Every structure is written in structure tokens, then in C-alpha cells.
Structure 1
Amino acid sequence: MNQRTWMFSALLIVVGCRTPHDSINAIIERQSRALEQMPSEARARMFDPNRTAATQPAEELRGSGLLTLEEARDIALKSNPDIQAAQARLEAALARITEARSFYFPKVNLTHQSSRTFMIPNRQSTYRQPFPMGYYLPQLSSGLSLIDLLNTFSGPLSGALFGNYNISTGNTNSFSDHQSTLSASWVLFDGFVREARLLSVKQMYVASAMSLANVERLLIQAVDSAYHQAQLGVEQLRIAQADEQFSLKQLANARKNFEAGKISKADVLNFEVRVRAAQANVVAARGVQETGRVVLAELLALTDAQLPTAMALALLNEEGDSDLQAQDVIAWIDQAMAARADLAEVQHFLKATEENIVMARGQFYPELSLRGSWGFENAHNVSYSDDDQSSAIALEMRWAIFTGGYRTSQVRRANAEWWEANAGVRRKGLQICREVRQAVIDLTNAQEQVYLQRDNLRFAEENRRLVETQYDAGKSSLVRMNEAQRDYVQTEGELVLARIRLRQAWSDLHAAAGTYYRRAGDDSPDVAK
């Protein structure tokens, strides 16, 4: 039997060993295989379930070059910690599916117990001590009266009731006992609780996948906003620097005219003020640009949240006709209802709560299980023999008749959670409609602003040219010159702001509709430094 002992030990070592952790690549590969098996309707809501790695990983953004908006999105989707946290939640949901499936399989346990008994009470010992009757019963004499008879039995009775006598100490014959058992149990029926549990966790897995897609949607929207803010800073810096150069030119001319006695000192000081104001705008524009770059670097998960200094962003291209077309809000709402991942998330959560109700109701059914065991028992050592074997098999039916209202409260709670989830689906639908309508309103306003500011800039530029010519000829006042330059700078800045708002409005509309915003030709071959 030594061979059997070694087999038991080897099985215990193999089964009891802790499974090593999977690598990140193994987890991602497992998630990819699981995502491929998801329903096509759920996969369609994800931005790119089969996306590859970014062409410029975050760790390689240490040189110079052009960082396009598309590349920034890809890097963020790969490196952002929010994506990694959502992937971890997806892995946990995938593990819960395996946990739910485990209830369909039998449970096998290997147990071993070795004990050594040193002392047991005499009443449990197989070696009984004789009752010390001579100690309690006196010798009976002839001519026994009633009083003598009572005195004769009062001793044993009082001793038995009140412990006045003393039996010898416990038995000290020590012995050992060894038991090794392989047992198995298999639940055959549990009121469909296993089925409901598995369906529930599958719905929660799809909900976790939709949560990952929603994180991607919000992350892309955040990257677009940061990228556009940095582009706005670049354009404002260009406008402020152009204003500074124009003011410096006017200041140089004013100094020449002052030396020639054509203008007063106040005119020179006026252009000094204009130069300082333009320089202040340059500083403010640099702040807007750097703030956008810092936020973008954080979203890309770059070290110290800093983009490389030599890394440039794309300049703005002119808007196409499609960018300025009016949009049908109803069509966008229909698109959002079919594509928004967060709506699908709460819908699958609602389905999971339906299965939780089935699980709660399953507690009212009986449970039928099959149990069996096989093992050895020896009172001396673990060198078992065939005579030490024992085995048993049983079919067990367990039906809880009364639980103090526990099962009923479980059903009530499951129903309440379903009501809450159902209200959450309705609330999410209303939220999506509001977001889409608001995004369409913002887009329409941005389109109108672009149209108006284009015309305003053309008029302001022509007006400044005429006023500058008249001022140089001495036919226009300094006040009129200041107004013309201020109107031109302000109008150009408002046009740039309207163009940025137009791009962000498109990004917000696609985010509200749950689609991936790709604007053809948005990235200029020029760079914004």
C-alpha cells in the first residue's frame, strides 16, 4: 500500500498547488478570443475591437515629428490607464463566467487526518473499572430496622447524585488513528440556479465589454478636446505674433515721424502700448497651447505628462462643404440608439437582473445531489492495506421548508434591482437624446459662426488696409487706426475659435452618437510648433 500512499500524496501536491498568474499578453489574447464570440450587435458598438497597436507607442514619443489626431487617439486607446482598468474589469467578468460554469462539474476533495489520543474518560473506555460497591455499602446485620435500611442506601444515592464518590482517573491507553479519503459530490438539480447564474454573468460580461467601449468613446472625445485646445493655442499664438509684428512696424514708423516732427509723443506711446498688449497676448496664447499639450500628454499616458518639445501638432485645414452641411437630429438619435455602448451596457445589466430573479426563485426548489467517497482508515500507521478500505455512495435530496423569510426577501430584492435597472435604461435613453440634440445645436451654431466670421475677417482685413493707407497719408486719425487693427485681430481670433468649435462640435456629435469621428484631410502636412 505504500504505492497508493505515494499516489495520494502526489495528487494532493498537484491539485493543491497555486496556479501561476497569467501574463498581460495572455490576458489580452484571451479577451480577444472572447470578444470574437460576442454577438455581432454588441461588437458593432465597439469602436475597433480588432485594432492593432499604435504606430507610435507612447514610449517612443521622445523625438521630433508630427503627431496627428488619429495617432494621438490610437496611442491613448493603447496606453491610457482608464483603458487598462476597463480591460481588467473585462478580465474579471470573463473569470466570473468560468466560476459560474464550475457549478456544473462535480467537486472532488482529497482529505487526510492523522490523530493521536493520549487519554479518554473511563466512561468512553473499553476497559471499564469495577464499581467500588464496598466503599459505599456497609455490612448488613441481622435484625435490620427501617432506619438502618435508609442509612444503608443513603451513601450510594447521594454520591451518585452529588458526586461524593471518586472513580479512578481516565484511561491512559494512547492510540493513533489515520484516515485518507477521496470524496466527490455532484449537484444534479438545484432549481435552475446554475443556469440563471451562468446567463447572468454572461450578460454582465457583455456589459463589461460595453463599458470598455464607452471608456474608449469618452477617451477619444477627451483626446479630441485636448488636441483642439492645443491647436487653438497655436492659432492664437500665430495671431498674437502677427499683431506684435504689425505693432512693431507701426511703432518704428511712429518714431521716425516723431523725430521728423510730424506726430506727437502721445502717438509713439500709443504704439508702445499696442506692442505690449500684443506681447501679452503672445504669452496668453502660449499658455493655452501648453495647457492643451499637457492635457494631451496625460491622456496619452506619457511620462511626467509632457509631450516632447519638438513634437508638433497638425495645423488646421479649410473646412469642406460636408463640414458645413445641416444635420438631421432624428437620424443622429436613431444612430445613437443603435451604437451607444453605455446604452447597451445598462440594457445587458437589465437582462442580468432578470436572471437574478430566476436565481432567487430557484431557492424554493429542492436540491438533488450525488455523493460518494473512497478511502482508508488505520488505527496504527498510514501503511494502508486492502482491509482498511472504505467506500460509500449516496443520493441526497435537500429541500428547505422554512428559512425565516430569507428566500422571499431575496426575491423581493431581485425584483427591486430589476426595477432600478429598468429605470436606468429609460434614463440613459433620455440622456442620449439630450446629448445628441445639444451636440446638433452646438454644431449648427459653430457652422453659422464660421460663415459669419469668414465674411467679417474679409471686411476687417480690407478696412485695416484702407485705414493704414489713409493714416500713412495723414488722412486718418490714430484712433481710427487702433480700431481697425483691434477689429482685425479680434475677428481673426473669433474665426479661429469658431473653426475649433466646429471641429469639437463634430467630435461631440459623433461621441453622442457612439460613432468614431474621422475627418478626411484634417491633418495638414504642415506642422504647428
Structure 2
Amino acid sequence: MRLRVFWLMAPVLMLAVNPARADSGQPAYTLQQTLDYALENNPELGVLQARIEQADAQLGEALAAFYPQIKASLSYLHSDNPSQAFAMIIAQRRLDFAKGDGYFNHPGGVDNYRPEVSASYALFRGGQDYYRKQAAEWGIETAELEKTATRHQLIDNVTATYYGYWAAQDAHAVSQRSIEAVQAQLGQSRTRFEAGTLLKSDVLSLEVQLAEAQDAEIQATHAIDMAKAMLKTLMGLPAAQDFALATPLEQNLPETPAGFEVLLDQALRQHPGLQAAQKRVAIAEKQLDMAEAGHLPRADAFVSYGSDSQDLAYSTRRDNVTAGVTLEVDVFSGFATQEKIKHAEHAVTAAREAARQMRLQVENQVKTAHLKLLEALSRERVTAVAVRAAEEALRLVNEQRNAGVVTVTRYIEAEVARDKARTRDIAARYDALRADAALKLATGFWN
């Protein structure tokens, strides 16, 4: 499961990053502290760490095949079957020929206790143990790469949400200032309308402006709550726990990125998700080798040491040793080996297609982030000029309004134009920062 920023946050992430102060009396998290806390406490990273440890244990299981297997056992038998009874009597070293034929035909019930230690060692298994070991080693590397990819995604999501929170805070502050300003103008305009010195249309325009500012405040408040709730999820905090964020420092715009081919080459070399997909192909190929090795013979060596007695009394006069080698090959397994090979071949095909799909996704991510960063940097250069022009226009209209040359509607229009210009400039700046972070994610830049 990959960490994804909720779609509901999209309006927030389009807003600007503007410094604001955390609530007093609460410990405030900086961006770096927020990232550190999330990387330490996010449950998905804990799950992936457990998978790494699980893969390490699987490697230990695979390596066990290269060691001898030693077992200790204790068995008890009772029988009056002549063949079994005399076999036990002979093993106990107490056969007496002087007892005659009746004794051999009717030995009676015989008890036999056998404590035993046995050891076996796999001499050859068609390379299955070696392939299994290699697959387990690559399984650990794959789990580590998957954790790294998830870690990068978490950093990207926390960064976006952290700045989105402050963007919403800024939008909320702007909407409150707009409400206060419009309410003041609306009160004066209603007084002038009642006195007959102002048109009804001017009052209605201000009422519309007030409704828009109030609607913006509601959306900003909701965006703040959504951003904070998402940060809690990313940081692994319960929903009821409150926390504060420290005012972020103003960031410079990112530099113009390198060319697409350079960035793509970097991504193909170090993107953890792509590397993990390639490792999964190698693992599937080794599992295919294991399945094909089922056609080869298997050889095992074994040795056992034990003692047979009537009453568990140990004596070196009754001990015995058995050693040997077994060689076996599956002549017919009901087509099980062939079906295992087919299953492994399909798994290899699926892994290769998944790796190809991941490569295409990486290429698309790099291209998209590269284009968005170039677009945002270009937009910011244009909107910065527009902000300066809109602020100068508002200053002139304000002077004209004070002189009674223009109506309050014209002043409101100039103020709205200034706010829109600022919003576009801030959005472009934030989009550039966001695209730069997405480009780092796509190229596997984060450590």
C-alpha cells in the first residue's frame, strides 16, 4: 500500500505557503521534526520493517539446508511376533540358542527401548538449496527497497501536507481580513444609500463580495482541519491528540532543473521502486530454477547411533551405528514438477511485466514533475510582475476613491484583482516547491 495524499487536499495544495505562528502553550513541530516523527511512528513503515525482518528469517531458513540435521529420539516397541521379537532380541544382544525350537517359535512378548541420535546431510538437491538462498537474499534487498520507496513517498506527502496546512492558514487570515474590510465598507454604503447618495447596485455588490469572503473563510477552515487530520495520520497520531506546527521559514524558489534525459537516467539508476521491481524479477527467475531442479536427482548422507534394551539401561555392548547414502529421483510425480515449472514461468512473466510497468510509471513521473516545475517557475515570473502591477493599480484607485473620483465598486474590483494576483503568484511559488519535491521523489533523490 502506497501512501497517497487525499484528493480532498488538492484545493489546499494549490494555495500558498505563508508563515504563521503556532498556538501558544503547545510544542510546535518544524517541518524537519514533523518528518522525523512520521518516519519514526508511521505504522506502514513499521509493517515494512517487519517484512524486512521476516525476509531475513526466510534467509536463515534457506541457509539451514547447508547444515547437517541432527535429531534425538526415543522409541518403544512391544511385540510377540516371532520375526519382530527375535529382531529385537538380537538387537539387544541376548539371543540364546540353547532354549530350543519352542523358544524360537514362541518367544512371548518382548519389550524394546531405543534411544537414538541421527544426523543427515543433503549432498545434492539439483541446486535447489542454492537457488533458494539467493532468492532469500534478494528478498531482503527487495523488502529494504520497498521500505525506502515508501519512506520517500511519506516524505513527499508530509511535506505537501505541512505546507498545505500553512497555505490554508494564510487563506483563512486573508478571508477574515476581507470580511472585516467589506463589512466596514458595507456599513458605510448602507448609510449612504439610506441618505440617497449611493446606488443600490453598489450595496448589492458589497453584499456579494461579503458572501464570497465568508465562503472563502469556510473553505479555508475546512482545509485547515483536513490538513491537520492528514498530518496526524501520516505521523501515526490518534485523531483525538492535538499538536501545533511551527512557522515555516520562507523558502527560495527551486533552481531550473536539469534536462529530462539527465533526470530520467538518474531515476532509472536509483529509484527504489524500480530497483525493487527488478529484484522481484530476479527472485522469480531463481524460483523457476528451483522448480526445474525438481527433475534432477537428490543425494543424502545419513548416520544414526542408538542402543536397544529391555529397560532403558544403556550399555556400550548393545549400541549400534548405521550409516549410508541415499540417491533418489522422481520418475513420475503425477505431473507435479511440470506444473510447478509452469507456475514459476508465469510468475517470471508477471514480474517482468510489472517491472516494465514500473519503468513506464517512473518515466511518466519524471516527465510530469519536470514539466510542472518548469511551468511553475515560468508562471511565478509572470505572476510576480502581475502582483506589482495590481498593487500599484490598487494604490492609485484608493487615492482616486479618497478624492471621490471613483465608486466603491471600482475600489473593490481593484482590491479583488490585487488579491487574485497575489493568489496566483503564491500558487505558482508553492507549485514550484511541490513540483521540485515530486521530482526528487520520481528520481529517487531522497536518502
**After superposition, what is the alpha-carbon deviation per residue over 1:466-500, rounded to whole angstroms, capped at 9, x for unaligned?**
22322232211233223222222222222222222
Letter in 2 for 1:372: V
Q: Is the 8 A contact 1:177 1:378 kept in 2?
A: yes
Partner of 1:81: 43
Question: 2:72 touches 2:117 (CA, 8 Å); kept in 1?
Answer: yes
CA distance in 2, matches of 1:450, 1:306: 38
Q: Which residue of 2 aligns with 1:412?
A: 342
Tell me the distance in 2 between the aligned counterparts of 1:516 and 1:457: 34
Counterparts of residues 270-419 of structure 1 (less than 5 Å): 270-304=205-239, 306-308=241-243, 311-315=244-248, 317=250, 319-320=252-253, 323-379=254-310, 381-419=311-349
C-alpha distance in 2, partners of 1:510/1:122? 82
Give CA-to-partner distance per residue, 1:79-102, whole Å, 9 cap, x none: 101100000110011111111110
Aligned length in residues: 406
**1:78 to partner: Cα distance:** 1.0
Pairing 1:100–2:31 present = no
Q: In terms of Rg, which structure is larger?
A: 1
Who is 1:428 aligned against?
A: 358
Shift of residue 172, structure 1, vs aligned partner: 12
1:69 to 14, 27, 31: 31
* Aligned match of 1:195: 130
Residue type at the aligned position of 2:131? A
Amino acid at match of 1:178: Y
Determine the C-alpha separation between the residues in 1 that align with 2:251 and 2:392: 21
- Match of 2:250, SS? coil
Partner of 2:387: 457
State the 1:268 CA deviation.
5.0
Q: 1:353 Cα shift?
A: 2.1
Letter in 1 for 2:64: S
2:97 counterpart residue number: none
- What displacement does 1:277 show? 3.4
- Shift in Å, 1:325: 2.2
Letter in structure 2 aligned against 1:194: D
AA partner of residue 476 (structure 1):
V
Against the structure 1 CA distance between its residues 124 and 108, is the aligned structure 2 distance closer, same or farther, given a 3 Å change threshold?
Answer: closer
Q: Normalized against structure 1, the TM-score is what?
A: 0.70
Which residue of 120, 127, 130 maps to 1:185?
Answer: 120
**SS state of the match for residue 314, structure 2?**
coil
Q: One-letter code of the match for 1:296?
A: L
Q: Tell me if structure 1 keeps the 8 A contact 2:48–2:147.
A: yes
Q: 1:114 aligns with which of 68, 76, 90?
A: 76
**1:480 maps to 2:410:** yes
Aligned residue among 167, 186, 197 for 1:232: 167
Residue by residue over 1:124-153, the C-alpha shift from the partner in whole angstroms, topping out at 9 and shown as x without a partner, is 999xxxxxxxxxxxxxxxxxxxxxxxxxxx
Counterpart of 1:111, as a letter, is S
Q: Is the 1:376–1:390 Cα contact (8 Å) retained in structure 2?
A: yes
Contact 1:244 1:278 in 2 (8 A): yes
SS of the aligned residue for 1:378 comes to coil
**Distance in 2, Cα, partners of 1:260 & 1:202:** 87
504-513 or 454-463: which moved more? Answer: 454-463
Unaligned runs of 5+ in 1: 1-61, 127-170, 518-529
**SS of alignment partner, residue 397 of structure 1:** strand
Q: Distance in 1 between the 2:123 and 2:348 partners? A: 29
Following TM superposition, by how much is the alpha carbon of 1:420 offset from its aligned partner in structure 2, in angstroms? Answer: 2.5
CA contact (8 A) 1:447 1:502 kept: yes
Contact 1:239 1:493 in 2 (8 A): no
Q: Secondary structure at the match of 1:304?
A: coil
Q: 1:110 to 1:239 in 2, by over 3 A?
A: same
User: Are the equivalent residues in 2 in contact too, given 1:179–1:378 (CA < 8 A)?
Assistant: yes
C-alpha displacement of 1:110: 1.0
> With structure 2 as the length reference, what TM-score do the two structures score?
0.82
Q: 1:204, CA displacement in angstroms?
A: 1.5
Change in 2 beyond 3 A, CA 1:328/1:213: same
Partner amino acid for 2:224? Q
**Superposed displacement of residue 214, structure 1:** 0.8
Query: Sequence identity of aligned pairs in percent?
Result: 23
Find out whether 1:245 has 2:180 as its counterpart. Answer: yes
Given that 1:196 and 1:358 are in contact with CA atoms closer than 8 Å, whether structure 2 keeps it comes out as: yes
Cα gap change, 1:299/1:123 in structure 2, threshold over 3 Å: closer, same or farther? Answer: closer
Deviation at 1:232, TM superposition (A): 1.6
Structure 2: gaps (5+ residues): 1-23, 87-105
Which residue of structure 2 aligns with residue 526 of structure 1?
Answer: none
Deviation at 1:267, TM superposition (A): 4.4
The residue that corresponds to 1:214 in the other structure is 149
Supply the distance in 2 between the matched residues of 1:224 and 1:125 (Cα, whole angstroms). Answer: 80
Conserved? CA contact 1:109–1:183, under 8 Å? yes
Contact persistence 1:110–1:181 (CA under 8 A): yes
**Root mean square deviation of aligned Cα:** 2.9
In structure 1, how many angstroms separate the alpha carbons of the residues matched to 2:336 and 2:82? 46
Letter in 2 for 1:344: Q
* Cα displacement (A) at 1:276: 4.5
Amino acid across the alignment from 2:144:
A
C-alpha separation in 1, matches of 2:107 and 2:220: 94
1:443 to 365, 373, 397: 373
CA contact (8 A) 2:85 2:110 kept: no
